[in-house]
Amino acid sequence: MRRAIPFFCLFAAFAVLSLPRPAFAVFTLFAGGGGIKEGDPAPMFSGLTVDNRKIDFAQFKGKKVVLLDFWSIYCASCIEEMPRLVEIHNEFSKKGLQVIGVNLDSFGTQRVVRFMQGMENKITFPVVIDKTRQIATSFSAMVLPTTLVIDVSGKIRFYHVGYKPGDEKKLRDFVAQAVKEIRK
């Protein structure tokens, strides 16, 4: 016996799908990350980059400041933020900063790579593919972009959700302060 789908369900699905795209993206995660906040120790994580290199947070803890940026190719504000992250990376990478992009698209690495190759401002830092959202879950990154700065001791110093022009100034200030503390 076939069950008919109620008309209101079809109408609701069509209405949601026809809404304009938001400037941010929301990903539903099946397990909560426990409410990560500034001052908390960063969870350990690892993953493979788009060029198949392993990135492990353990290799940076105690040595570098890590800026993590969770993003998707379908998130307009993520793409708008990306050139600012490249600028911060270029300015501070020789002073002890490691920027890592964490892409949450689930359709495959090749599509993300093609998108990145077509970007006007090329991404100059490693990008990890987090299809299963394991890294995102551990950092409670449910809205994109989510950007974090982890200091050299492994504590989260900055946790920011969303992006609007000008946000990069505060992010840059946090990074500048955190890299100064490496040398102390």
Average pLDDT over every residue of 119-127: 95
pLDDT at 138 over 80: yes
What's the whole-model pTM score? 0.82
pLDDT at 49 over 90: yes
Length of the chain equals: 184
pLDDT, residue 2, reads 42
At residue 142, what are phi and psi to the nearest 5 degrees?
Answer: -105, -20
| 52-83 pLDDT tens trace | 999 999 999 999 999 999 999 999 999 999 99
What number of CA atoms fall less than 13 Å from residue 59's CA on the CB side? 7
Question: 23-183: which CATH architecture?
Answer: 3-Layer(aba) Sandwich (3.40)
Residue of higher predicted confidence among 139 and 107: 139
pLDDT, residue 184, reads 64
pLDDT at 112 over 60: yes
Contacts of 123 (CB under 8 A, 6+ apart): 82, 86, 101, 116
| 6-21 pLDDT tens trace | 433 333 333 333 333 3
**Cα 18–chain centre separation:** 26
Percentage of the chain lying above the pLDDT 70 cut: 81
Mean pLDDT (the chain) is 85
Contacts of 58 (CB under 8 A, 6+ apart): 44, 46
pLDDT category at 35 given cuts 50, 70, 90 is confident
Domain boundaries, the chain: 23-183
pLDDT, residue 183, reads 72
pLDDT, residue 58, reads 96
pLDDT category at 38 given cuts 50, 70, 90 is very high
The answer to whether the CB of 178 falls within 8 A of the CB of 98 is no
| 144-158 pLDDT tens trace | 999 999 999 999 999
pLDDT, residue 60, reads 97
Name beta bridge partners: 97. 65
